[in-house]
Structure 1
Amino acid sequence: MADIELRKRLLTVEEIFHEGGPVASVPLRRAAAISVIANPFAGRYVEEISYFMKVLEPLGVDMAERLVTALGGDPSVVQGYGKGAIVGAAGELEHGALWHVPGGYAMRAVLGDAKAIVPSAKKVGGPGTRLDIPVTHINAAYVRSHFDAMEVGVPDGPRADELALVLVMTTGARIHARVGGLAADAIKGEDGLR
């Protein structure tokens, strides 16, 4: 990651035991990894930025590995994922879009054979900006029980010339999920949707 100027990393793990109903025998675990890096395109318009996706690949893999470790070290426990970016005010939304490929493919590489598209969110904002990272099942985007989101942010970032890049993984469905639809145990895994 020699071409990336990393200022700080954050790792958050939540354990959710209930949402007002019965206490789950096994809590849902959600984890978010955030890397705050310098935005090499801040403060000016640069036409060709796509090369930076390749530069970000090692960071994505490192973050995905850290998430698996935070969730116990076994990739097979991960059932949901999502990604996002908060772009500092001197950047543009497209700088956050650079995270789509390296963030998504990093999680797929670390998790093995994940089939579903990795949902994403991005926005431009200043220090303390919060972002809801959408989460879906790793193998089938239509599994309603795994539709979720994890709110993330950095108290002192991103600064105007920074990017806050985010990956999220979860260990299961929402606690008390009961709105029907395709069940996780009925996934066919052919197209990433069902």
Structure 2
Amino acid sequence: MPEVKIRKTLVQVETVYHEGGPAPETPQKRAAALAVIENPYAGRYVDDIAPFMKDLEPLGAQMAQQLIDALGGDAAAVEGYGKGAIVGVNGEIEHGALWHVPGGYAMRDAIEKSKAIVPSAKKVGAAGTRLDVPVTHTNASYVRSHYDAVEVGIPDAPRPDEIVLVLVMTTGGRIHARMGGLTKEDVKGEDGLR
């Protein structure tokens, strides 16, 4: 199996105090962890790439913990999550899909109440490509207040033979969310949907 070769990492934290209305009691925090890795399959077609997912598991666990730490160290405070990948131009979109399992399950394992599917976005792009990573509630995908996205990117990544792997966590829904529907207080937590 290929070894995971990391060129650089980045953790960013955004604190949202208000969105033009009254400030909430607690500001929302949104954090993203990015890892720029060598793409072991760049420039060629390889039929069986799935084993690389196992190699990515430790990186997923490390990035999930980095996010929890960046948000204050309390996994119970995490209410939203998402994941993504930007594949360099010598790779293919399927190489980004390798992040689904190790990235998603790393976050779900680190957060106690996390039955909801982890939304994802991926694309192939040049260095500096930006990605909007979708976010939903960790325990119930139908909580509308947590439908969101976090934009990420690194000016010099991905290089043609690299992949930028991304995990995102938030401490709450959108500031001033008021579009109705299921609220986080009414989540039953039975099926990841409601």
Provide TM-score, normalisation by structure 1: 0.98
**1:7-41: per-residue Cα shift (whole Å, max 9, x none)?**
00000000001111112221100000000000000
Partner SS, residue 142 of structure 2 = coil
2 CA distance for matches of 1:61 and 1:134?
20
**Distance between the aligned counterparts of 2:64 and 2:193, measured in 1?**
22
| 1:85-100 aligned within 5 A | 85-100=85-100
Quick check: 1:53 aligned with 2:53? yes
Q: CA deviation at 1:178?
A: 0.3
Shift in Å, 1:125: 0.2
**How far apart, CA to CA, are the structure 2 residues paired with 1:28 and 1:125?**
30
What is the 5 A alignment of 1:1-194? 3-194=3-194
Distance across 2 between alignment mates of 1:83 and 1:118? 7
Whole-angstrom distance in 2 between the partners of 1:130 and 1:18: 24
2: CA distance, partners of 1:188 / 1:18: 29
> 1:118: Cα distance to partner?
0.1
3-state SS of paired residue (2:56): helix
Residue 76 of structure 2 aligns with an amino acid whose one-letter code is S
Q: State how far apart, in whole Å, the 2-side matches of 1:68 and 1:5 are.
A: 23
Counterpart secondary structure, 2:128: coil
Aligned alpha-carbon RMSD (Å): 0.8
With structure 2 as the length reference, what TM-score do the two structures score? 0.98
Question: Any gaps of 5 or more consecutive residues in structure 1?
Answer: none
Q: Report the Cα offset of residue 113 of structure 1.
A: 3.6
- Counterpart AA for 2:38: A
Output one character per residue of 1:160-182: Cα deviation in whole Å (capped at 9) or x when no partner.
00000000000001000000000
Residues 109-161 of structure 1, C-alpha deviation per residue, up to 9 Å, x if partnerless?
11124100000000000100000000000000000000000000011000000
CA distance in structure 1 between the partners assigned to 2:3 and 2:110 by the alignment: 22
Aligned residues: 193
What is the SS of the residue equivalent to 1:94?
helix
Give the letter for the 1:138 counterpart.
Answer: T
CA distance in 1, matches of 2:112, 2:97: 24
